[in-house]
């Protein structure tokens, strides 16, 4: 049995579908027990990546699709957003994404573009892959903050 | 389309706006256009109440930063009020809270999950 459940969402690369994908991700995150605040973080981070993919497709005048792959583990959720509209083999693509370098991602940070910065802040891990478009890979763990809080509460 | 923008002109130098719903890639351009309808007279004071905003991301931040620049260019003042702790956090982590006039609400606003 695979260690995770995989859900793939495909939406037209149009702004009106960002909220649809966001709500689906919210539902999936709720499924594996993220806190209310973590779900809000996931919604924003995923929306940023999807918005970027939509704008990318718009700029190139493409009638494309955005593919959002979600891997649901017991303790974490991985989300992969690709702007080239092709389905991917989640594990294969995941192996290809690497850490991003700030200078190379200038095009990602578009007008008013705090997008990547927010993704970085709100998620535990972020990777970006350039090949046939941009693929953003991000991870959030369930209950990381709670663990930190518990550690702080241990009397010294 | 799930955004509402209501602009009330108290007098020509005082505008109070009430924004509700979700601000994202789809609704941000609607908000930007509504705000661009405001005539920015010298020393204008604009208050935008965001109590009923249930979701916002960087597209919304972009609109508010743009509008802030326009108001400031007119020697005016922009005030964002009634922000939930979730919304306030976005302005905190982006450092915008240092630059803009952001007033958070004291009460926790429960965000509803409807589209």
Residue B42 lies in a domain: yes
Q: Give the pLDDT of residue A55.
A: 84
Asked whether residue A149 carries a pLDDT value surpassing 70, the answer given is no
For B7, counting Cβ atoms within 10 Å of its Cβ (0-12 exposed, 13-18 middle, 19+ buried), the class is middle
Q: Is the pLDDT of residue A16 over 90?
A: yes
B25 vs A contacts (CB less than 8 Å): 15, 18, 47, 50-51, 54-55
Mean residue pLDDT across chain A: 80
Give the DSSP letter string of chain A: --SSEEEEEEEESSGGGHHHHHHHHHHHHHHTT--HHHHHHHHHHHHHHHHHHHHHHHHTT---EEEEEEEE-SSEEEEEEESS-----HHHHHHH-B---GGGGGGGS-TT--HHHHHHHHSSEEEEEESSSEEEEEEEETTHHHHHHHHHHS--
Q: What is the DSSP letter of B113?
A: -
Confidence of residue B114 (pLDDT cuts 50, 70, 90): low
A80-103 confidence digits (pLDDT tens):
999 876 666 777 777 766 555 544
Q: Which residues of A touch B55 (CB under 8 A)?
A: 19, 22, 43
Which tens digit of pLDDT belongs to each residue from B25-57? Answer: 999 999 999 999 999 999 999 999 999 999 999
With beta carbons less than 8 A apart as the criterion, state whether A111 and B62 touch.
yes
Best mutation site among B3, B21, B24, B56 for testing chain A: the one with the most A CBs within 10 Å? Answer: B24
Determine, for residues B58 and A55 on separate chains, whether the beta-carbon distance falls below 8 Å. Answer: no
Task: Determine the distance in angstroms separating the CA of A112 from the nearest CA of chain B, rounded to an integer.
Answer: 4
Domain membership flag for residue B9: yes
Fold topology of A5-153: Heat Shock Protein 90 (3.30.565)
- Which residue on chain A is closest to B63 by alpha carbon? A112
The per-residue pLDDT for A104 is: 43
Q: Tell me the C-alpha distance between A50 and A14, whole Å.
A: 10
User: Which CATH number fits the domain that encloses residue B52?
Assistant: 3.30.750.24
Q: Is residue B25 part of a domain?
A: yes
In a domain, B92, yes or no: yes
> Is B51 within a domain?
yes
Domain ranges of chain A: 5-153
pLDDT tens digits, residue range B62-85? 999 999 999 999 999 999 999 999
pLDDT tens-place string over residues B16-29: 999 999 999 999 99
Q: Which residues of A touch B29 (CB under 8 A)?
A: 15
The residue segments making up the domain with residue B43 are: 3-104
Residues of A in contact with B68 (CB under 8 A): none
* Shortest Cα–Cα distance, A1 to chain B (Å): 33
B78, part of any domain: yes
**Gap from A2 CA to chain B (nearest CA, Å):** 31
What is the band of A108 on the pLDDT scale with cuts at 50, 70, 90?
very low
| A15 against A56, higher pLDDT | A15
Question: Is pLDDT of B13 > 80?
Answer: yes
- Strand-strand pairing, B77-83 and B101-104: parallel
Report the domain count for chain B: 1
Helix (H) or strand (E) holding B25: none
Question: pLDDT tens, A49-61?
Answer: 999 889 877 666 6
pLDDT at A6: 95
The structure's pTM equals: 0.83
pLDDT exceeds 60 at position B100: yes
């Amino acid at each position: 049995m695979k260690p995770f459940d995989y859900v793939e969402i495909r939406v037209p690369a149009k702004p009106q579908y960002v909220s649809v994908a966001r709500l689906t991700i919210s539902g999936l995150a709720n499924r594996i027990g993220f806190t209310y605040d973590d779900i809000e973080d996931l919604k924003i981070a995923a929306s940023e990546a999807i918005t970027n993919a939509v704008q990318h497709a718009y700029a190139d005048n493409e009638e494309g699709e955005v593919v959002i792959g979600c891997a649901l583990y017991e303790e974490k959720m991985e989300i992969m957003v690709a702007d080239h509209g092709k389905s991917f083999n989640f594990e294969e693509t995941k192996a290809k994404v690497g850490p991003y370098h700030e200078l190379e991602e200038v095009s990602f940070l578009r007008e008013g573009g705090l997008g990547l910065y927010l993704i970085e802040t709100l998620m535990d891990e972020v990777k970006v892959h350039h090949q046939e478009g941009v693929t953003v890979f991000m991870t959030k763990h369930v209950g990381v903050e709670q663990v930190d809080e518990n550690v702080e509460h241990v009397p010294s | 389309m799930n955004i509402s923008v209501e602009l009330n002109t108290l007098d020509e130098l005082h505008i109070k706006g009430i924004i509700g719903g979700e601000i994202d890639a789809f609704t941000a351009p609607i908000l930007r256009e509504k705000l661009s309808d405001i005539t920015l007279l010298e020393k204008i004071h604009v208050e935008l109440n965001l109590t009923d905003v249930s979701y916002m991301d960087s597209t919304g931040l972009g609109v508010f930063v743009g509008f802030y620049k326009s108001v400031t260019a007119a020697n005016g003042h922009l005030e964002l009020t009634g922000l939930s702790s979730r919304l306030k956090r976005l302005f905190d982590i982006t450092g915008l809270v240092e630059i803009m006039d952001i007033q958070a609400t004291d009460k926790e606003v429960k965000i509803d999950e409807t589209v």
